[in-house]
């Protein structure tokens, strides 16, 4: 994820730390238990510890990017089909190729396929809610999925999470993993969500996708664009930075 000068000397833009959510945010109750409260301790990397993950186009299945088909058992998943696509860009807005992008999400009823999710909403036997792909030479990624539903989460009275999709990106080594969330434009729950409001106000719009008619597939699925910027003045806010 390094950028290069004309003399091929590696350079990196400074991190825009003021665009990321705090590790501990009063409105998001569980951060008080999992956010660090002591200074970080530098550790010497063991030999090979930061080697690049082993994956390639041959390791990505033909349906890994298509959440409407990668878990079908006896029919189509229920809900509104959608396309999620965008680019992964560096600090100079140049495309970043061969980045592993993974997503996970709730189903249309607002429930995850996970034993820890006991929300009183139905599971969809034909929807797993997880997918992955590699960016192409232009840094582009694309998923076909079901628009997730909102769900209660108990953080505060009458707390509901907005519709959202989680994204994880792996760069040149495992230590470069970045995790963020993508929201939908016009969601009325955004002003009440501490994961969203915990992000500095000037950077919140970078977490919201754009409806894109060019990505929309006629008679099939609406399209949403969400570009991920890794560093620099426009970098996407990430969790656990």
What is the average per-residue pLDDT within 234-241? 84
Respond yes or no: is residue 151 known to be catalytic.
Answer: yes
pLDDT (0 to 100) of residue 37:
75
Distance (Å, whole) CA 16 – CA 236: 10
Number of domains in the chain: 1
Domain presence at residue 21 = no
Respond yes or no: is residue 112 known to be catalytic.
Answer: yes
Respond yes or no: is residue 164 known to be catalytic.
Answer: yes
pLDDT at 227 over 80: yes
Domain presence at residue 58 = yes
pLDDT (0 to 100) of residue 186:
97
Q: Pick the catalytic residue: 28, 141, 151, 224?
A: 151
Domain containing residue 106: 53-230
Calculate the dihedral angle through the C-alpha atoms of 122, 165, 197, 229, rounding to the nearest 10 degrees: 180
pLDDT (0 to 100) of residue 172:
63
| pLDDT: which is higher, 95 or 3 | 95
Q: Pick the catalytic residue: 161, 196, 206, 231?
A: 161
Pick from 82-86, 172-176, 222-226: least confident: 172-176
What is the average per-residue pLDDT within 174-182? 83
Helix (H/G/I), strand (E/B), else coil: 202: helix
Domain presence at residue 167 = yes
pLDDT (0 to 100) of residue 233:
85
Q: Tens of pLDDT along 93-134?
A: 999 999 999 999 999 999 999 999 999 999 999 999 999 999
Q: Tens of pLDDT along 182-223?
A: 999 999 999 999 999 999 999 999 999 999 999 999 999 999
Q: Tens of pLDDT along 24-52?
A: 776 776 676 677 777 767 766 654 555 55
Q: Pick the catalytic residue: 28, 112, 183, 224?
A: 112
Q: Pick the catalytic residue: 69, 166, 177, 204?
A: 166
pTM of the model: 0.81
Domain presence at residue 44 = no
pLDDT (0 to 100) of residue 174:
56
Respond yes or no: is residue 114 known to be catalytic.
Answer: no
Domain presence at residue 6 = no
The domain that holds 65 is classified in CATH as: 2.60.130.10
Domain presence at residue 39 = no
Q: Are 183 and 221 in contact (CB under 8 A)?
A: no
What is the average per-residue pLDDT within 60-72? 96
CA distances from 85 to 82, 88, 229, 231 (A): 10, 10, 14, 20
| pLDDT: which is higher, 224 or 18 | 224
Domain presence at residue 99 = yes
Domain presence at residue 19 = no
Distance (Å, whole) CA 199 – CA 150: 19
Respond yes or no: is residue 161 known to be catalytic.
Answer: yes
pLDDT (0 to 100) of residue 57:
53
pLDDT (0 to 100) of residue 4:
39
DSSP notation for 102-144: EEE---TTS--SSTT---SS---TT---EEEEE--TTSEEEEE
Q: Pick the catalytic residue: 20, 111, 164, 231?
A: 164
pLDDT (0 to 100) of residue 125:
97
Q: Tens of pLDDT along 128-173?
A: 999 999 999 999 999 999 999 999 999 999 999 999 999 999 876 5
Distance (Å, whole) CA 178 – CA 229: 11
């Amino acid at each position: 994820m390094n950028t290069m000068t004309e003399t091929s000397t590696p350079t990196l833009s400074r991190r825009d730390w003021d665009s990321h959510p705090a590790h501990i945010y009063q409105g998001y109750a569980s951060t008080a238990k999992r956010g660090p409260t002591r200074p970080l301790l530098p550790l010497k990397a063991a030999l090979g510890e930061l080697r690049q993950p082993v994956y390639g186009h041959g390791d990505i299945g033909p349906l890994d990017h298509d959440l409407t088909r990668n878990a079908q058992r006896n029919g189509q998943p229920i809900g509104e089909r959608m396309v999620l696509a965008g680019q992964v860009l560096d600090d100079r807005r140049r495309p970043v190729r061969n980045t592993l992008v993974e997503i996970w999400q709730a189903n249309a009823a607002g429930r995850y396929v996970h034993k820890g999710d006991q929300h009183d909403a139905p599971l969809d036997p034909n929807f797993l809610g997880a997918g992955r792909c590699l960016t192409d030479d232009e840094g582009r990624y694309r998923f076909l999925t079901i628009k997730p539903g909102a769900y209660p989460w108990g953080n505060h009275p009458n707390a509901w999470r907005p519709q959202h999709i989680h994204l994880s990106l792996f760069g040149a080594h495992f230590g470069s993993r970045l995790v963020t969330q993508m929201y939908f434009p016009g969601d009325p729950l955004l002003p009440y969500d501490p994961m969203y409001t915990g992000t500095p106000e000037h950077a919140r719009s970078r977490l919201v996708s754009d409806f894109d008619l060019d990505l929309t597939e006629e008679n099939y699925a609406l399209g949403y664009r969400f570009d991920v910027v890794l560093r620099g003045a426009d970098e996407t806010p990430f969790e656990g930075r």
